[in-house]
Structure 1
Amino acid sequence: MNNQKKPDPVEATIQLVGGKWKPLIIWHLSNQTMRFNELKRAALPKVTQKMLTQQLREMEAHGLIQRNVYPVVPPKVEYSLTELGQSLSPLLKEMCDWGQKYLETQKSNVK
């Protein structure tokens, strides 16, 4: 008898993009290439530099983002989504739409 658990697709997705920062990073990179500090300022002002670096490295290792280093002084590094990372955009768009409806519902309940 085979007791190995069949891989769960939802669990696999959450392992790749779960957490507080990864969905936001992907969202902000979905339509543009950004440098580290641009990403931090525009998208994630509350994230520490260490955490942002860790999240970017993990997503690069999983093939979701691409890191381009230009040989200039000071070093120039840009981040963009890979084709795999870009395939998450519809999912995040749905989350954005759901969140907007939720926030509108909460606002109308406060009255």
Structure 2
Amino acid sequence: MEKPELFGICPYVTAQKVLTGKWSIYIMYLLSDGPVRFNELQRRMPEEMTHTTLSRQLKVLEREGLIVRKEYQQIPPKVEYSLSEIGIKFKEVLSVLEEWGNEYIQYLHTRKDI
């Protein structure tokens, strides 16, 4: 028996597949306050990230419709990334994730087995 494809049907599977990249949620967070240039995004990442890795992740988020890439025709070239209309709606999710993440950090500090 073939298992049903849940992408586009189940909201949890759909969200998980769209946000599969290791840094996708953090990139969305960095863009939540407005447009950011590529090099600034790379500087703000918490770990050393190669140009290629960040570029690949941004292309995936753009393909999924969560971010918008705007290229300015000038010298030197300027490219900004921002949340798309559907990406802006993710800001509410980011807020809830932040709250839960802070509660979980507090929980970790109270555990004796760590």
The SS at the match of 1:59 is helix
Matches within 5 A, 1:58-73: 58-73=60-75
Q: What is the alpha-carbon root mean square deviation over aligned residues?
A: 2.0
Counterpart position of 1:9: 11
The runs of 5 or more residues in structure 1 that have no matched partner are none
Match of 2:40 among 11, 35, 38: 38
- Provide, for residues 4-61 of structure 1, a one-character-per-residue CA deviation record: whole Å limited to 9, x for no partner: 5553221111111123110000011011210001011113443221111011011111
Q: What is the identity, as a one-letter code, of the residue corresponding to 1:52?
A: L
Match of 1:91 among 69, 90, 93: 93
Instruction: Give TM-score scaled by structure 1 length.
Output: 0.87
How many residues are matched?
109
The SS at the match of 1:74 is coil
Counterpart position of 2:82: 80
Counterpart position of 2:54: 52
Match of 1:20 among 18, 22, 46: 22
The SS at the match of 2:52 is helix
Cα distance 1:12–1:79, how it changes in 2: closer, same or farther (>3 A)?
same
Q: How many percent of aligned residue pairs carry the same amino acid?
A: 34
Question: Alpha-carbon deviation of 1:95?
Answer: 1.1
The runs of 5 or more residues in structure 2 that have no matched partner are none
Higher helix share: 1
- Provide, for residues 48-92 of structure 1, a one-character-per-residue CA deviation record: whole Å limited to 9, x for no partner: 211110110111111111111111111100000011011111112
Q: What is the identity, as a one-letter code, of the residue corresponding to 2:13?
A: E
